[in-house]
Structure 1
């Protein structure tokens, strides 16, 4: 095994470390499923001429505690599959202007929405980050919180029909295992942009929010457009296509034998490889 994290004094880039690790190791294991990224596993294996094995994702079990009553009651006010849920995880903090563009984009859709985002650094709390007049205009159909929420419960609620995700590994997996239409809005970390491209262009299981060519920023109109594409066209067009593809993949991911089968296969391949050394 070759350590990926070499001493900083070596002064080599992360890309160089990855290349060195890939070409000097005996085998490579990735935390993924072949059903998800088999094409890319085969590509890497061909490029580095080393055996490449998927070891599966750690799929989280269903929550043991019920959804908090206050949120259960609020979500229960709306029609099935009508609520748009947006969360960027517990660590991602958006700048004030980009957070407001998401909120204004959701307002433009006309759909009810639940937003769980960390307050931006420019604001003391999530309330002070809201666009002017936003709370008054959307108080009957919108809930914005800066606190942690029970995401798996929310994604599984019958009223929630769309998930705007930053494409973090855990959130992407939870989104894929839900019945929600997926809107992809990667932020900050490079692999999230790669995940968004794979999910939107290769798997065709979601729609990515458009960004400006020069500044790479998104705006309210791009957010609104992506949500409308997946929520208004479930009988035809893009919405229907991503729903069909997502449903097929979700059934595979929810197979009880999937995770254990990849662990077992990896264990077998690893033992075979070690016996040859």
Structure 2
């Protein structure tokens, strides 16, 4: 876009206090700044130093740190979900809600055209008072948003919670009956007297438009359903992939992976927030599943609850039995770089939305073990609609057995299996579309045009 094309926008970004939200909001900020638009990024004070290296346009993207107040129930100094258990995140939401006055002061000074936000139900009201356009930016799947169009209150029954909204565009993508407790947990208080569902629905219903980090090729019917359900424009930024990094994989990983054949290694990572229990699903059963599959494996997991290292949690004799074939690692790993190594052939993960976009650009077979609400729906999208991966079968109390994990891995890695090869072909076709630079460019340009049209109204 040349300078003469259109007026430049000033957009405030205000994501939920989680790295799975900060990072995609910042990726989008970089895409917008690349086209000459100005970004003001609001975030908790302690988070700024951790994100500065991802800011590719410091002259156009400015951080505005917020001081979170002390709130009963919230660990001292906690500013993000990475240090707050799921059942305490309502206190984190409440703490950020208390920054409204700080946000208002910032907005009065910087005067943005648009504010893009996700969890902050009070933003639309504040924005309109100041002549700012409020737009929800959703960094989870539109399928979850479509499911959320049924308002779930504290009084919701299990049967009501499990019903699909009328007209929902799929009969295969849904929660299973044994997942009812997960759905109902979203109907509990999530700070400031709102349930999680009420908070999300208010952000949707009060916004001028609903923007998604996705593309029609993946979620088209669900996007149409959201547009109809909320009677609002639905804008698509595309996946907003970051620019390709020139970073190389560390020698320690290259040397270890080089011992194996191309496409033969199973890689497992559940992200920074998953903490497994040592006995029930979990940790030990999981690593025994990798041993049982008979393939080389690299498993990156946080030490389970009550353990300071992964080594002390491993089953007796495990390290000796898998020596030279398997590695369980307790520290941070460069997930994206590992996924692109030619010797990695299968990726076992929880299907968080950010991780989903990473594996869609790889050549790996996909095995999914979702744990929480949106991961479950993302998994159903990948498995039932797009048919590019498999979900591990669960037993009683949603337990994953070593046998079911091993079977899922062996199934997708069987080069003679027609169904497994079909999954591979489907994913390869999708990767080709998503990695097309022209497709990405078209999405971001259309997105900017839609934002400019909204501001002009």
Kept after mapping to 2: 8 A contact 1:28/1:51: yes
Aligned position for 1:255: 436
Q: CA 1:23–1:170 in 2, change beyond 3 Å: closer, same or farther? A: closer
Higher-Rg structure is 2
Per the TM alignment, residue 3 of structure 1 is displaced from its structure 2 partner at its CA by 7.8
Per the TM alignment, residue 170 of structure 1 is displaced from its structure 2 partner at its CA by 2.4
Kept after mapping to 2: 8 A contact 1:54/1:262: yes
- Corresponding position: 1:76 with 2:258: yes
Q: CA 1:62–1:274 in 2, change beyond 3 Å: closer, same or farther? A: closer
Q: Any idea what SS the aligned residue of 1:91 has? A: coil
Distance of 1:28 and 1:245 partners within structure 2: 29
Aligned position for 2:274: 92
Aligned position for 2:225: 43
Q: CA 1:160–1:5 in 2, change beyond 3 Å: closer, same or farther? A: same
Q: CA 1:20–1:149 in 2, change beyond 3 Å: closer, same or farther? A: closer
Kept after mapping to 2: 8 A contact 1:107/1:138: yes
Aligned position for 2:288: 104
Q: How many residues align?
A: 273
Q: CA 1:220–1:3 in 2, change beyond 3 Å: closer, same or farther? A: closer
121-130 vs 267-276, which moves further:
267-276
> Which residue, 43, 56, 68 being the options, matches 2:238?
56
Aligned position for 1:202: 385
Per the TM alignment, residue 102 of structure 1 is displaced from its structure 2 partner at its CA by 1.5
> Which residue, 305, 308, 317 being the options, matches 1:121?
305
Kept after mapping to 2: 8 A contact 1:63/1:153: no
Distance of 2:247 and 2:206 partners within structure 1: 46
Distance of 1:206 and 1:46 partners within structure 2: 29
Per the TM alignment, residue 227 of structure 1 is displaced from its structure 2 partner at its CA by 0.5
Gapped regions of structure 2 (runs ≥ 5)? 1-114, 123-189
Q: CA 1:71–1:94 in 2, change beyond 3 Å: closer, same or farther? A: same
TM-score by length of 2: 0.57
- Corresponding position: 1:174 with 2:289: no
- Corresponding position: 1:236 with 2:236: no
Kept after mapping to 1: 8 A contact 2:214/2:239: yes
Kept after mapping to 1: 8 A contact 2:121/2:200: no
Distance of 1:43 and 1:140 partners within structure 2: 50
Distance of 2:335 and 2:191 partners within structure 1: 41
Kept after mapping to 2: 8 A contact 1:41/1:53: no
RMSD, aligned CA: 2.0
Kept after mapping to 2: 8 A contact 1:230/1:239: yes
Gapped regions of structure 1 (runs ≥ 5)? none
